[in-house]
Amino acid sequence: MTFVDKINDLQDKKQKLELGGGKERIATQHEKGKLTARERINKLFDEGSFVEVGTFAETSCIDFDMQKKKAPGDGVVTGYGTINGRPVFAAAQDFTVIAGSLGGMHAKKIVNVMNMAAKTGAPFIALNDSGGARIEEGVEALGGYGDIFKMNTMLSGVVPQITVIMGPCAGGASYSPALSDFVFMVENTAQMFITGPSVIQAITGEEVTMDELGGAKIHTTKSGNAHRSFENEDQCFDGIKKLLSFLPDNNLAGLPQYECTDSLNRTAEAIYDLIPEGKSGYDVKSLILQIVDNADIFEIHPDFAQNVVTCFARINGKTVGIVANQPNVKAGCLDIDASDKAARFVRFCDSFNVPLVTLTDVPGYLPGKDQEYDGIIRHGAKLLYAFSEATVPKINVITGKAYGGAYIAMNSKHLGADIVYAWPSAEIAVMGPDGAANIIFRKDIKDSSDPVQTRKDKIQEYTDKVTNPYVAASKGFVDDIIDPAQTRQYVAAALEMLSSKSEARPKKKHGNIPL
Amino acid sequence: MMKKFLISVNGNQYEVEVEEVGNGQSVQSVQPIRVAAPAPAAAPAAKAPAAAPEAKAAPAVSKSAPAGAEKVSAPMPGTILKVVVDQGSVVKRGDVVCILEAMKMENEIVAPKDGTIASVNVQPGASVNAGDILVSIA
């Protein structure tokens, strides 16, 4: 071949490889409402920015006639490019190539780009769409998964890792998403589970469909394994881009700074109308939208453990991580799922230097035998640990109830919050007046000629004397009591002041967070 | 908090669960320990604290939800403050069906979907645990 022949031959080879498993399989993929690996990459990355690596990688397995099967790129497209101008690495499994099954080389390619992401400090995104391990490759495939899981762990806290489930993700393959920071799923076409319906049927006799077992709805509402779900792949890509816009490239990079077009001095009198008189609930998200820039948030786990809200937003053009109790759901109590959800979010923010802003309105931990038997003690402790451990700026605004252990857990001064504000309507106490009066004034009530009235009076006495923010403020647990309409101003000023915060921790390999 | 008492009436023992709500006492349930003839059983029931006949006169409160109806359960333990629907009421998703007093708050329990109330399973004053059926919607 002449030199030019070789170049033409190369173009030829590349064009064929780009078709993956071939036109027929591409059509099948489309019929299912799914895009191919390369189509997904083109939609996700800025136009023309994607550089592929490992195009010509091939499996070396010859067991079970493996060499007779064509596996372009060994079923995965890997490389790097830019998303909204910022560097990102990605691996997109190609379902048209032996059902995107993972073999040794497939895994090596993924590990390779993950390694580059770590070395250069840029986020890594995995687009999962795979039938699982390539059985012919046996233990080699298992080893491949193992290598990927180790890389997920090495990258954890170094660069943001987002895994997107866009097809089947079964068996051990589910652990890579679980190890990454955020898991997105596409509705209807994506399922994730350890053992599939047929195995479950064989072993336990239970019948369940793939979607009932591990579809997007299950993982975003029940199991909490997925942080967001999207109606279709396009919306999913928009979601990824939006999330990335809040995150730094890596743990040593500064937070992305945008121009702030929303005045920091904006007072939000609308807040007065949000909070009802009396004891009924309200939607804390409306409050969050009043406080942040341009009412723009990206919620994590919106449908899981809805009694706590975790979301990214910006104040003064810079990312903040918000954790807020949701009075509308389970009275805003903390329970097992809420503690898990909030603790993981707090630790992600701390890993990537995102300041934390909490809105506290919590009546306590959810009582009940189920919670106790399922371990509310060790799960609730996770949130206490996460806030105490965090060295990012920590700002707490107590907007309502703050009772008992839940008061402590919600970013209190005692756990190291830098600034704690309270609204004049805040109730900060060890116990509610009803319960407290029974204990403290037990003798008065017992000895009284009208116990029912005395109890009522004592409850009122306790309410007036104790459950108000001035007591906590008098002890320095609350830095100031503020007009709710000025919450944004106070929080923005605190964030500005704390932007240069640096806090040391005793040297250790790492702590032992209750799990 | 529920307290259990053993009441002996006319030589028959009855197990009674009582909950103090501050303004008097309401009997939650009366269960005969020894099976007595229907006539003596009716008499002690009439002599039991005033709330028992009250419970019988209350609007249709079912013990279970009809098959196929979606159950709306209590998200946490507490006391029913108000029931704002009846069997047969038409509701839209998000409409309040009852108010549950729990965790120092008056929690609005809302309908998870559009439909008709197939059963009302609690009445004001009832003490519920997490998971107890409040209403069901067909």
Look at residue B124 and tell me if it is in a domain.
Answer: yes
Q: Is B122 within the bounds of a domain?
A: yes
Q: Where are the domains of chain A?
A: 3-246, 270-431+467-498, 433-466
Q: Domain A270-431+467-498 classified CATH 3.90.226.10?
A: yes
pLDDT, tens digit, 9 for 90 and up, residues A155-175 = 999 999 999 999 999 988 999
What is the distance in angstroms between the Cα of B29 and the nearest Cα belonging to chain A?
22
Is pLDDT above 80 for B98?
Answer: yes
Task: Give how many domains chain B has, as a whole number.
Answer: 2
B53 and B95 in one domain? Answer: no
Within-domain flag for B62: no
**Domain C-terminal end among B57, B79, B95:** B57
From chain B, pick out residues whose CB is under 8 angstroms from the CB of A366.
76, 103, 130
Nearest residue of chain B to residue A434 (CA atoms): B104
Determine, yes or no, domain membership for B39.
yes
pLDDT digits (tens, 9 = 90+) for A426-436: 999 998 888 88
Best to test chain A binding among B104, B110, B129, B132 (most A CBs inside 10 Å)? B104
- How many other CB atoms sit within 10 Å of the CB of residue A256? 17
Query: B70 by DSSP, 3-state: which?
Result: strand
Q: To which residue do tokens 């709500």 refer?
A: B21
The verdict on B53 and B74 lying in the same domain is no
Rg of chain A on CA atoms, in Å: 27
Q: Is A314 exposed, middle or buried (0-12, 13-18, 19+ CB in 10 A)?
A: buried
- Active-site residue set of A: 171-172, 405-406
CA dihedral A282, A287, A289, A291 (to 10 degrees): 180
pLDDT, mean over chain A: 95
Chain position carrying tokens 């009846």: B86
Contacts of B107 in chain A (CB under 8 A): 280-281, 330-331
CB atoms within 10 A of CB A515: 9
Does the residue B83 lie in any domain?
A: yes
Measure the CA–CA gap between B32 and A45, rounded to whole angstroms.
73
What fold does the segment set A3-246 form as a domain? 2-enoyl-CoA Hydratase; Chain A, domain 1 (3.90.226)
For A277, the token pair is 């008189």
Q: Find the largest Cα–Cα distance for chain B.
A: 53
- A34: amino acid identity, one letter: K
User: So what's the pLDDT on residue B53?
Assistant: 41
Domains A3-246 and A270-431+467-498 share a fold: yes
- Model confidence at B60, pLDDT cuts 50, 70, 90, reads low
What mean pLDDT comes out for the span A256-282?
Answer: 92
Q: pTM value?
A: 0.88
Q: Are residues B7 and B37 in the same domain?
A: yes
pLDDT in tens, A139-153: 999 999 999 999 999
- State the pLDDT at residue B1: 63
Q: Nearest CB to B103: which of A328, A333, A370?
A: A333
Nearest to A391 by CA among A332, A457, A433, A347: A347
**Chain A: closest CA distance from residue B98 (Å):** 12
Q: Are B99 and B119 in contact (CB under 8 A)?
A: no
What are A's interface residues with B at a Cβ cutoff of 8 A? 278-281, 327-333, 363-364, 366-368, 370, 401, 403, 432, 434, 452, 455
In a domain, B123, yes or no: yes
Is the same domain home to B7 and B46?
yes
What CATH number is attached to the domain comprising B117?
A: 2.40.50.100
Q: Classify residue B50: in a domain, yes or no.
A: yes
pLDDT for A314: 98
Check the CA dihedral A399-A311-A495-A476 and report its sign: positive
Asked whether the predicted pLDDT for residue A373 surpasses 80, the reply is yes
What's the N-to-C CA distance of chain A in angstroms? Answer: 62
Cα–Cα distance, B102 to A346 (Å, whole number): 28
Question: Residue A515: which of A389, A346, A383, A362 has the closest Cα?
Answer: A383
A327, A434, A452 ranked by CB distance to B105: nearest: A327
Q: Over pLDDT 70: what percentage of chain A?
A: 100
Query: Which chain B residues touch A455 with a CB distance below 8 Å?
Result: 22
Determine the average pLDDT of the residues in B77-99: 94
Average pLDDT for A487-511: 96
Determine, yes or no, domain membership for B114. Answer: yes
Instruction: Give the list of residues 6+ apart from residue A514 with CB closer than 8 angstroms, or none.
Output: A378, A379, A381, A382, A385
Residue B52 sits in the same domain as residue B74: no
Picking from A416, A394, A424, the residue whose alpha carbon sits closest to that of residue A494 is A394
Residue B46 has pLDDT above 60, yes or no: no
pLDDT for B58 equals 47
pLDDT category of residue B54 using cuts at 50, 70 and 90: very low
Contact B103 A279 (CB under 8 A): no
* Cα–Cα distance list, A73 to A7, A110, A111, A127, A316 (Å): 20, 11, 14, 15, 45
**CA distance readout (Å), B99 to A123, A213, B111, B116:** 47, 33, 12, 18
Domain that holds residue B18: 2-57
Show the CA angle centred on residue A96, arms to residues A90 and A101, nearest 5°.
Answer: 70
* Chosen from A221, A279, A370, A452 to mutate, greatest number of chain B CBs within 10 A: A279
- Which chain B residues contact residue A333 at CB under 8 A? 76, 103
State the average pLDDT over residues A321-342.
97
